[in-house]
Amino acid sequence: MSIANLKRRLDEKISVFSDSTHIQTKFVKPQRLMKRLSILEHKFGDLENVQPLEEKIIKSVLKLEQHGFDGMTKRDRKNLAWSLSKKLPNYEEKILFTPVGVRLIDYFNQLGIDQLQFVYFPLLYSYFAFEQHELENLPSNWIQLRKILDENKSSIFKASTRPKKWMTTLIDNSEVLTTEPTKKFVREFLQDNDENRVANQLESLRIASVSWFWDDLIRSAIKSIKTMKEDEYFQIIPRFLVLLEKNKIYATDILAALLERYASTSQREKVHEVLKHLALDQWGNPQYESSAGWNNVNVDTKKMVIQWFVRADLEAFFRLFSRTADVDRFNYWIKFIDKIAVSQIFLGPAASESNQVEHRKFREENRGRLKLLTGSTRTNNAFMLKIENIYVFDFSDIGNACYILNKIPYNQERKKVDIDTLKPGVHILKLSHTSGWQRKFDEKLAELGIFSSQANNSNSLYKRRY
């Protein structure tokens, strides 16, 4: 056999045993060893990016101030990258917002990938470490830092022979380095059952709990309410109520956004009890001009909530507390609901002292809104409605007339009101609930310029004349 043939056969044998697929059939993968290697790499990566002691950061900053960037070691550069989000002694602001920060950003911007890769994670950490109030005016240094991170992320990833977990996370979620860093995450943040899903997804980036990022995520979620489809909006309300409960600083923004969106839906006349009572607790009674919190929503939205309270008051008055009340009167007054700016209920002893679950619940949910009626029977209750420029007072017990006044006759600061105060001798009208009273009421109110929405149809005898 020639040497050439011998060499050829030898190469063939070598190639067989060097083939990766053949090797796998001959040798079992060292699974436990590979798992251990993965754990060690993870621990080493964590140690590599652990924050240094503040004393070491201060030492590197002093070295920069005294000698400039000449002689800076790899460790010094890392310490300086960590320093950007720190407020060190003798500095009134965090380093990024000082002249030293300007120098550092310019320095890091000029580094090549071979050096930048060792400080990239500390720079990334600093980018996320600031709180929202620190970035309200979008400091130019912070924007420049974001630009450095964004423009070099791919190169850092490619330069790494074994990419770290945070590198993969950053590449997969590169939106965090754009002007809309949380847009991608809003839907899953709102719709996923695991409210920590986004945090877990970005865990390797080590975003601080006080970071502007989480603030931006919640505010972006709140903004999304405005553009949601109606069905999606109604489904997402409970999620926002949980957010509101856990994040009180966003209570006003969340409540305002939910109410504004509700007012534009086809269900605006349907009372949302949770939103109604939450708004009452947060901003007070919308029927009182002194409740300044209602300036957080537009006039039409406030009007919607007022109508919720009016409807609930009338239903409670005629259907919950007053067994002797004429239900026809509920049907009569409810037709003016879009004209009613204020409603007030006066409960007699029977209603105010009742231990029925429904009665106690209504009184609790409307604490601060109810008054006590004195000087009458135990079962008698009263209500007041401000319809445009008049005040209507009516009573639950049969035999009481309806009084119409041009002002509130009682001291609004007092909790107890005598029935005679609601039936003053000087009044605009005194109307009795005798046979055909609805027609008579329509006629008298029309003389005062008061018409219900139903009075604008062509079949009404008392439609408004323009």
Residues 394-405: tens digit of each pLDDT = 998 888 999 999
Average pLDDT of the residues in 227-238 = 95
pLDDT band at 466 (very low <50, low <70, confident <90, very high): very low
Q: Which residue has the higher pLDDT, 79 or 290?
A: 79
Question: Does some domain include residue 286?
Answer: no
- b/e code 286-321 from CB counts within 10 Å (16+ = b): bbeeebeebebbeeebbbbbbbbbbbbbbebbbebb
How many residues are listed for the chain in this entry?
A: 466
Residue-level pLDDT at 289: 80
pLDDT in tens, 338-395: 999 999 999 999 999 999 999 999 999 898 899 999 999 999 999 999 999 999 999 9
Q: Is residue 432 part of a domain?
A: yes
Residue 88, pLDDT score: 93
What type of residue sits at position 94? K
Edge to edge, the sheet with strand 402-405 lists 416-418, 371-374, 340-347, 382-387, 390-395, 402-405, 429-431
Under 8 Å between Cβ of 96 and 87? no
pLDDT in tens, 99-155: 999 999 999 999 999 999 999 999 999 999 999 999 999 999 999 999 999 999 999
Does some domain include residue 91? yes
Structural domain includes residue 95? yes
Residue 188 located in a structural domain: no
Residue 318 per-residue DSSP state: I
Specify whether the CB–CB gap between 214 and 207 falls below 8 A.
yes
Parent domain of 364: 324-456
Average pLDDT over residues 413-427: 94
Q: What Cα–Cα distance (Å) separates residue 338 from each residue in 311, 370, 408?
A: 10, 22, 20
Asked whether residue 146 is assigned to any structural domain, the reply reads yes
Q: How many domains does the chain have?
A: 2
Which has the higher per-residue pLDDT, 454 or 407? 407
CA distances from 219 to 200, 228, 254 (A): 20, 15, 9
Q: Is the pLDDT reported for residue 11 higher than 80?
A: no
Q: Where among 155, 172, 189 does a domain terminate? A: 172
> Quick check: 7 pLDDT over 80?
no
In the chain, the amino acid numbered 39 is I
Structure tokens at 359: 């009665």
As a whole number of Å, the CA-based R_g of the chain is 36
Region 413-428 average pLDDT: 94
Tokens of 406: 């041009």
Which tokens in the block code for residue 454? 């139903």
Mean pLDDT of 277-300: 91
pLDDT at 458: 38
Q: What is the pLDDT of residue 29?
A: 60
Cβ atoms of 60 and 83 within 8 Å: the answer is yes
Q: How does DSSP classify residue 396? A: S
Percentage, residues of the chain above pLDDT 70: 85
Q: Place 460 in a pLDDT band, splitting at 50, 70 and 90.
A: very low
In tens, the pLDDT along 425-441 reads 999 999 998 999 999 99
In order of 17, 53, 58, 95, 105, the CA distances from 100 in angstroms are: 60, 19, 12, 6, 9
The stretch 3-32 carries a mean pLDDT of 61
Distance CA 90, CA 113 (A): 32
- Looking at residues 261-281, what average pLDDT do you find? 94
Q: Does the pLDDT at position 302 exceed 60?
A: yes
Please report which helix (H) or strand (E) contains residue 70, including its range. none
- List the Cα angle 140/209/215 in 5-degree steps: 55
Rounded to whole angstroms, how far apart are CA atoms 302 and 242?
23
Structure tokens, 292: 């300044």
Question: Does residue 345 sit in helix, strand or coil?
Answer: strand
Residue where a domain terminates, one of 132, 151, 172? 172
Task: Please determine, for residue 21, whether its predicted confidence score (pLDDT) is greater than 80.
Answer: no
**402 part of a folded domain:** yes
The rounded percent of the chain whose pLDDT value lies above 90 is 71
Average pLDDT over residues 63-70: 93
Which DSSP helix (H) or strand (E) runs through 390? strand 390-395
Domain boundary among 139, 157, 172: 172
pLDDT of res. 295:
94
- At 417 the three-state DSSP class reads strand
Question: What span, in angstroms and rounded, lies between the C-alpha atoms of 333 and 316?
Answer: 13
Q: Is the pLDDT of residue 32 over 90?
A: no
Instruction: Tell me whether residue 462 is in a domain.
Output: no
Could you give the CA distance from residue 229 to residue 430 in angstroms, rounded to a whole number? 49
pLDDT band at 186 (very low <50, low <70, confident <90, very high): very high
Supply the mean pLDDT for the chain. 88
Distances (CA, A) of 366 to 35, 309, 417: 62, 9, 17
